[in-house]
Amino acid sequence: MNKLLPLLLIALCPPLFAKPPNVILMMGDDHGWEETGYHGHPHVKTPVLDEMARTGLRLDRFYAAHPSCSPTRASFLTGRHPNRMGTFAPGWSFRPEEITLAHVLAKAGYRCGHFGKWHVGAVKKESPVSPGAMGFHEWLSHDNFFELNPSLSRNGGPPEVIKGESSEILITETIRFIGRAQGAGQPFLAIVWFGSPHEPYSGLPADLALYDDLPAKYTKPVKLTSNETGGQVTRPQGEVLRERYAEITAMDRAIGTLRKHLATQGLRENTLVFYCGDNGTSGDAALGFPHRGHKGQVYEGGTLVPGLIEWPARITKPRTTSYRASTSDLLPTVAALAGQPLPARPLDGVDLTPVLDDKATTRATALHFWEFDTRRFAGTKPQPYLDPELQKGTTPLVKLQGNKATRDFNNLRHPAIADADYLGPRTIIEGRYKLVIHDRPGGVLKRELFDLDADPAEKTDLAAQQPAVAEKLATGLRGWQDSVLRSLTGADYRR
């Protein structure tokens, strides 16, 4: 019997004995849920993502943790809602006390690399929230977004222009990183955050040609950044979509290059490959279907994004799930796969391994979204959390901000919690119901209640018909906000 015991344990608990997977976590910039072929978009061509959807795990209810970029990226790295660390909006950094995916996996012997958009602090070497300071062994990164021929910082050094299509450049660098990890005999974590398809848009001629019919179909004027001046410009939407979709197609092709490399190197079976967007489609490109809202809004169109996972060794059959998952779930999931303990602080994400194994179809905990109202700082003088000099960006980009072609960052030492700290558009999703709360002048709240199973487009407000459900969700949301604000004061770092 003693000889059979080890075999019995292996049979009962295979994940504990399996070799931890390599991990590649990719994210598009402003890539909304509907902008894929597999979700039925009428124009955009994404053959690689479509193939991943056919052969892997398709997460049809995958959410960015926030309807804008920097906050979602903070959640992706830490498993925590961005408001816990003061990453309130684009251009707000996170804090050096945060524990990231790279910190967790490095303890398990992984080689960790970051490639592309960072946008949770400055990427220069001396920054206390650079990729290197936050656990990555190497990085080729940008403070914000980038176009063709991007200017990137390698391991925190001065920015260098790399000629070519930006998604292809990032994947080439990722493949080189994988080779170095292989040479050292290490498993790897590669986080690849594309600059596409964030505006201003630009594409290769062959990719643009795929969408030559769009300018005639969409003529309404939209505002975006000019590649020529870096300022705002108004252009016909069809021209804008032609360039945006060219970027998505180029990004899709680069992902295909990575998948082919994994296959030829014998790495595909035991590499977890993940893709998502960082928020919903931007307003200049949103076509108004099938969800309500767009980037910057807490309706489904602002937070639902593509979600795909491939891992042939564990996900052996193609599958689609309606489990509501989030970017906050990534850290708990990869920590479990690597056999590492979770950080000893409040997390908002959950371990998705039961979803990978088709053992969970509904989320047991609520999902929360909250755009903190930074107007609460008006008339106050809170202290910066980090030296402002260390928060200055170095990598240039097209879009000007205050006549500056780089991005600087901000984070604040939070004052005593006040009623104003609870404000800002916010939602809770629990089971089939979603409560949306907007603040109005004079302290009046606008509440909307939706049944997402019956009404995923959020067209029918049920708050008046089901006040008890709305009140229960509001109470849960307020309790969660209490926890977030305790974190925001720095309480988690003093444990």
CATH code of the domain containing 221: 3.40.720.10
pLDDT band at residue 8, thresholds of 50, 70 and 90? very low
Q: What is the pLDDT of residue 217?
A: 97
The one catalytic residue in 31, 119, 291, 368 is 119
Angle (nearest 5°) at CA 362 between 459 and 313 = 125
Same domain assignment for residues 464 and 384: yes
Say if residue 287 is in the same domain as residue 383.
no
441 in the same domain as 338:
no
374 and 226, same structural domain? no
**The pLDDT value given to residue 451:** 98
* 377, 355: one domain: no
For position 18, what pLDDT does the model report? 63
* Residue listed under structure tokens 């564990």: 314
Confirm if 412 and 94 have CB atoms less than 8 A apart. no
What pLDDT was estimated at residue 19?
86
Q: Is residue 457 part of a domain?
A: yes
Q: Are residues 273 and 383 in the same domain?
A: no
Cα distances (angstroms) measured from residue 254 to each of 14, 16, 165, 297, 400: 33, 33, 9, 30, 28
For residue 339, count other CB atoms closer than 10 A to its CB. Answer: 12
Query: 3 to each of 6, 9, 10, 18, how far by Cα in Å?
Result: 7, 11, 13, 20
Band of residue 488 on the pLDDT scale cut at 50, 70, 90: very high
Q: Which of helix, strand or coil describes residue 69?
A: helix
Give the model confidence (pLDDT) of 232-260 as tens digits: 999 999 999 999 999 999 999 999 999 99
Confidence check: pLDDT of 359 > 50: yes
Q: How many residues does the chain have?
A: 495
Q: Order the strands of the 159-161 sheet from edge to edge.
A: 159-161, 151-154, 138-142, 111-117, 188-193, 22-28, 271-277, 307-310, 57-59, 319-321
Q: Which two tokens stand for residue 400?
A: 């000007």
Catalytic one of 31, 39, 69, 112: 69
pLDDT for residue 12 is more than 80:
no
Rounded CA separation 453/60 (Å)? 13
Q: Do 380 and 428 belong together in one domain?
A: yes
Catalytic residue status for 119: yes
| SS3 readout for 425-454 | CEEEEECCEEEEEEEEHHHEEEEEEEECCC
DSSP secondary structure string, 171-212?
HHHHHHHHHHHHHTT--EEEEEE--TTPSSP---HHHHHTTT
Structural domain includes residue 7: no
pTM of the model: 0.95
Please state the rounded mean pLDDT for residues 381-387. 96
Residue 96 per-residue DSSP state? T
CA 424 to chain centre: 21
**Residues 357 and 386 reside in one and the same domain:** no
% the chain with pLDDT above 70: 96
Instruction: Indicate whether 207 pLDDT > 50.
Output: yes
Query: Is residue 70 assigned to a domain?
Result: yes
Residues 348 and 464 in one domain: no
b/e per residue 223-238 (b: at least 16 CB within 10 A): ebbbbeebeeeebbbb
Same domain assignment for residues 43 and 147:
yes
DSSP 3: T
What proportion of the chain, given as a percentage, has pLDDT over 90? Answer: 94
**Known active-site residue 66:** no
Q: Residues 325, 457: one domain?
A: no
Decide if 5 is inside a domain: no
Domain membership of residue 390 as a residue range: 369-396+408-494
Looking at the structure of the chain, the number of domains it has is: 2
> Could you tell me if 354 and 374 lie in one domain?
no
Domain membership flag for residue 11: no
